[in-house]
Amino acid sequence: MKVVYVMLRAVTGEVYGGEKSTIVTARGAAERGHQPRFLVTADDLLAKEIQAAGLAFDVLPLGDPIAGIRDAPLLEKVRRTWQLARLNARVFRMASGRARAVVHVASMPEFFAAWAGARAARAGLVFHVRDVSRAGHTRWYQEMAMLLTDRTIAISDSLRESLVSTATSALRGVLERRVVTVYNGFQYDVMDEFTARHRREDARAAFGLADDEVVAVMVGAVNEKKGQLKFIEEVLPSIAATCPKLRMVFIGGFIHPDYVARCRAAVAAHALERRVTFAGYCSQPGVYRWYRAADLAVIASAREGLSRFAVEAQAFALPVVSLRIVGPVDVVEHGTTGYLTAVGDPGGMAAAIDRLYHDVELRERLGVRGAARVRERFVLERHKDEIAKIYEEVVR
């Protein structure tokens, strides 16, 4: 069976969780005897990571035709529509032939870039939803995609529940049957090998951390969705007074310079320059090294689908403090592997971090439990099997 993975993006030097997860999914398809091939719209770091994973890909250098299309002038809208037509034509060619085929998309732009081509090629079509919409509820175009594809996959139970329960009431029964949960799988063997090869003491020394510093990490591109600014303004100042040796490290690329500037200004306004580090974008080994050096992890996102960061942090035995939102609620067991705090309650998040800061044994206990729990819940082989089963179902 051929499996075509469509990934739209402008040229960038950064690859984040959803894209990494799709590569893992494609490798699983190859291991199950299928023929995965990517269609990407930029020859950048993502293409290099696909190649490094031993996977085939085609490049149609069009960037993301959907980005900004709503506010574009008429002629630009026409040009973007033509680009979508070209992408659908390429999908058609890639999915056509005697062999059975599935087209796999993971966003609305990718749906628009692939639906017509997949249907013309009589291929199965899978819509893999990895995040809650910006509106916080299922939009009409998401409903359309879920109805016009053969199967919709949600990456967490809470995301599936949100997609169904916030959809148009008349459609909920249909969507309940069409949307399934498949948790992402993770390569714990790679993480365990890294842990065995890199001592915590060496990682901390490499970053110049003092022995008595307690390090909290937040991983993700520095942007409004990930919530760094609100965290700096509403949570960090109160922690600074009660946790004098806390160092907060933000790990992620600066893809929105204006937002980054506002974050830095907020740090300066609260006189936290010596307590906050902006590490920038890090490769996977670089992120792992920070996990080894850290004592706890924090999630302040406005929305997630699962949170790859939460799973990885717990795999490295870090307790996680997160807002109680879709995604992290599937990963963090409150009071057992970390703490979930209410949205709009910065004091609650500060209190949870303060508690972990002052109790080393609590951090270690929650971290050990979290490491065991994610290895039971987010299993790579199970993910591969469930995805393979869906592919078989949609091409029957």
pLDDT over 90 (residue 15): no
d(Cα 173, Cα 165) in Å, to the nearest integer?
10
φ/ψ of residue 361, rounded to 5: -65, -40
Q: Which of 9-13, 59-63, 273-277, 309-313 has the lowest mean pLDDT?
A: 9-13
With beta carbons less than 8 A apart as the criterion, state whether 115 and 88 touch: yes
**Mean pLDDT across the chain:** 95
Show the tokens assigned to 66. 């959907």
- Per-residue pLDDT at 7 exceeds 80: yes
Question: What letters, b where the CB count within 10 A reaches 16 and e where it falls short, cover 178-210?
Answer: bbeebbbbbebeebeebbeebeeeebbeebebe
Higher pLDDT, 135 or 77: 77
User: Residue 133: its pLDDT value, please?
Assistant: 87
Give the integer Cα–Cα distance in Å for 255 and 98: 43
Is the model's pLDDT at 128 over the cut of 80?
Answer: yes
Average pLDDT over residues 21-49: 94
pLDDT category of residue 255 using cuts at 50, 70 and 90: confident
**Looking at the predicted structure, is the pLDDT value of residue 16 above 90?**
no
Q: b/e for 161-170, b at 16 or more Cβ within 10 A?
A: ebbbebbeee
Q: What is the DSSP letter of 334?
A: B
Which ranges of the chain would DSSP assign to H, the alpha helix?
A: 17-31, 45-52, 74-95, 108-120, 140-148, 157-165, 172-178, 188-197, 200-206, 228-234, 236-242, 257-269, 284-293, 308-315, 328-331, 346-358, 360-377, 380-394
- Per DSSP, helices labelled H in 129-276 are 140-148, 157-165, 172-178, 188-197, 200-206, 228-234, 236-242, 257-269
At 354 the pLDDT is 98
Contacts of 27 (CB under 8 A, 6+ apart): 36, 53, 54, 55
pLDDT tens string 333-386: 999 999 999 999 999 999 999 999 999 999 999 999 999 999 999 999 999 999
Residue 35 is encoded by which pair of tokens? 């023929």
The model's pTM is 0.94
Domains 2-185+379-394 and 188-377 share a fold: yes
Q: Are 305 and 327 in contact (CB under 8 A)?
A: yes
C-alpha dihedral, 17 to 21 to 22 to 23, nearest 10°: 100
Domain ranges of the chain: 2-185+379-394, 188-377
**Whole-number pLDDT of residue 192:** 97
Enter the CATH code of domain 2-185+379-394: 3.40.50.2000
pLDDT of residue 371: 98
Domain 188-377 has CATH 3.40.50.2000: yes
Q: What's the residue count for the chain? A: 396
